[in-house]
Chains A and B, each alone.
Chain A
Amino acid sequence: MTSLLEARGIAIPGRLEATDLQCGGGEMIAVIGPNGAGKTSLLRALAEIELDRGRVAVAGEEVAGTPPARRMRLLSFLPATRALVWPISARDVIGLGLPVHDRARVDEMLDLLELGPLADRPVNSLSTGERSRVLFARVLAARPKLLLLDEPLSNLDPYWVLTTLSILRNAVSETNCAVLASLHNLEQVSAFDRVLLVDGGRIVADRRPNEMLASDELAQAFRVERKGSGWMIRGKISPEAGRQSSQ
């Protein structure tokens, strides 16, 4: 069986070393790593936003050179920025994610993300959290086989963090697509099937969530360690001790 995503030797000079990655349909993968480690670069390379070397195939189809209408069915990318300049309605922004006009699908997405009352408001007048939901709906609209999400859970309140995760889980089990999402909150990785740890522009570990949280690589990359139910700065005895030593 061929895997859903096949990336070979993808690289961005200075930010991402040559990387191979495979994943199967139905997998939810978290991408974690310290600031500037290369999480966004990995996602951008997979989306072929800037790709100097290597190749990416989704469901056996080469992504490079695929025309926009087809590519929207293969993969979609949610950028970390939620900035939108033009006063386009939420409904129309979701429509931009579809290769052909499909009002029923847009309505379905509006319902799914409880955006009905905001549907005709211009997106540049919405709050950051609301805009995140509109952009998330846009990414899901075309039912792509691969979802590349850069910090999909930031700017969201707890209700929407949980709802977003369950929407992703449903999408994965219904359409057998795959999700790669970068995260900052290490507690959230347990909602995923597999975790990639990125550091220094390469994938340094690829494990199940629980193994990853307990791993040495994670402690080394983030310079923190697990203590009970929380995290501590590595080498410091307690938060109080940390505060004293920094004074």
Chain B
Amino acid sequence: MSRGIALLLIATTAAAFLLSLLLPWSSIVGLLRQDTSLATAVFVELRLPRALLALIYGVTLGASGAAIQALFANPLASPDLTGTTSGAALGAVVTAYLLEFSAPLALSGGAVVGALGALGLLLALAGPRAETSTLLLAGLAISALAGALTTLALALAPSPFAFYDAYDWLMGSLVDRSLGQAVFAFVPALVSTILLLRLVPALDSLALGEESAQAMGYDIRRTRLWVVALSALGVGGCVAICGAIGFIGLVAPIFARRLTRGHPGRAIVPAGLIGGALLLAADLTVRAAPVGRTLPIGVVTAMLGAPFFLFLVVRMRRSLAA
């Protein structure tokens, strides 16, 4: 990746972040004229957490998506298609509604455990270098199971409002989160992303196959455990606060590898930046949508991501036929 492209990527992500803070411009200017403290409150308590969460969640999905794809040597592996996000959602729902722990730390912990369980199960079911069909089938089964268990947990929950309460959150939402909650997503996301960067050389060498990477002195078994644990930590932490948001973790690494000339490991950084920009853009779309009320952001990413996923499937089928 050349320096120019790197700067362009950083600038785009930063611009999306600033736009998210400042738009709509007129209402901030209007508030500033009337009441400065109210304008500050809107800025700090509404817009800043929302923009921060979009950035943090997007970066986490992009970076861990790239790491998971590099690990499974498969461009269709991603946190949502492998069931990681559903597992995290299940963990958080069980913690919140069945065990009735409402502390944010407990919620995050539950989500991380759920994500770990899902990724661990996937490794056990599909194997370390899974073929696309095995990987997607195993991921599908895990997602379906986690989804069903989530519904079951909500049905068994003592609170009669559990379904209503959880629905909005499960579809993914960045609205009405506090700065404190943003910090709760930020810490695990930061730790996970920074530690994932240490795995870049190992994941790049894994492009030559597991045996070659191992012969070059990279401990691939340990790398695998790290990727699973760190992805679960980052994604789990974000899911606990913002619910499940799909497709960013699939799409961002695919674009990122075009910038790294196909290298899967060093795509982690650009995938993080692209993921952040994409989720910020999706959130701006949600706000600009002329429907008079807030759409769940997960709906927007899925509506844009699913056709892209289908396009990938068709292209893969063509290349297999050729």
- Let me know if A145 is at the binding interface, CB within 8 A: no
- A85, B208: Cα distance in complex, Å: 8
- Let me know if B212 is at the binding interface, CB within 8 A: yes
Against B, the Cβ 8 Å flags (1 = close, 0 = not) of A143-158 are 0000010000000000
- Let me know if A75 is at the binding interface, CB within 8 A: yes
Select which of B207, B214, B215 is within 8 A of A96 by beta carbon.
B207
Size bracket, chain B contacts: 20 to 34
From B207, B214, B217, B257, residue with most partner A Cβ within 10 Å = B217
Q: In this complex, what residue of B is CB-closest to A81?
A: B209
Docked complex: B61-101 residues within 8 A CB-CB of A? 73-74
The answer to whether A49 touches B214, judged by C-beta atoms less than 8 angstroms apart, is yes
What total of A-B pairs shows CB separation below 8 Å? 69
The answer to whether A88 touches B263, judged by C-beta atoms less than 8 angstroms apart, is yes
- Let me know if A166 is at the binding interface, CB within 8 A: no
The answer to whether A86 touches B257, judged by C-beta atoms less than 8 angstroms apart, is yes
The answer to whether B262 touches A122, judged by C-beta atoms less than 8 angstroms apart, is yes
CB distance from A61 to the nearest CB of B (A): 12
Query: Which residues in A have their C-beta under 8 angstroms from that of B261?
Result: 88-89, 92
The segment from A14-22, A66-74, A201-209 found at the interface with B is A66-74
Against B, the Cβ 8 Å flags (1 = close, 0 = not) of A50-62 are 1000000000000
- Let me know if B150 is at the binding interface, CB within 8 A: no
Given contacts A49-B214, A86-B263, A89-B262, contact A79 B209 (CB under 8 A): yes
- Let me know if B216 is at the binding interface, CB within 8 A: yes
From A49, A67, A135, residue with most partner B Cβ within 10 Å = A49
Size bracket, chain A contacts: 20 to 34
Query: Which residues in B have their C-beta under 8 angstroms from that of A92?
Result: 261-263
Select which of B201, B204, B207 is within 8 A of A84 by beta carbon.
B207
- A96, B86: Cα distance in complex, Å: 36
CB distance from B96 to the nearest CB of A (A): 39
- Let me know if A39 is at the binding interface, CB within 8 A: no
CB distance from B104 to the nearest CB of A (A): 39
The answer to whether A86 touches B217, judged by C-beta atoms less than 8 angstroms apart, is no
The answer to whether A72 touches B262, judged by C-beta atoms less than 8 angstroms apart, is no
Query: Which residues in A have their C-beta under 8 angstroms from that of B201?
Result: 68
Query: Which residues in B have their C-beta under 8 angstroms from that of A66?
Result: 217
Given contacts A92-B262, A122-B262, contact A72 B207 (CB under 8 A): no
Q: In this complex, what residue of B is CB-closest to A68?
A: B217
Query: Which residues in B have their C-beta under 8 angstroms from that of A77?
Result: 211-212, 215
CB distance from A155 to the nearest CB of B (A): 15
- Let me know if A48 is at the binding interface, CB within 8 A: yes
The answer to whether B73 touches A85, judged by C-beta atoms less than 8 angstroms apart, is yes
- A87, B264: Cα distance in complex, Å: 10
Please list the residues of chain A having a beta carbon within 8 angstroms of any beta carbon in chain B: 44, 47-50, 66-68, 70-72, 75-79, 81, 83-89, 92-93, 96, 122, 135, 138, 148
Of all A-B residue pairs in the complex, the 4 with the closest CB atoms, nearest first, are A77-B215, A71-B217, A68-B217, A88-B262
Other than the given A85-B207, A87-B257, 11 more pairs (CB < 8 A) read: A44-B211, A48-B215, A49-B211, A66-B217, A68-B217, A79-B209, A85-B73, A86-B73, A86-B262, A93-B207, A96-B204
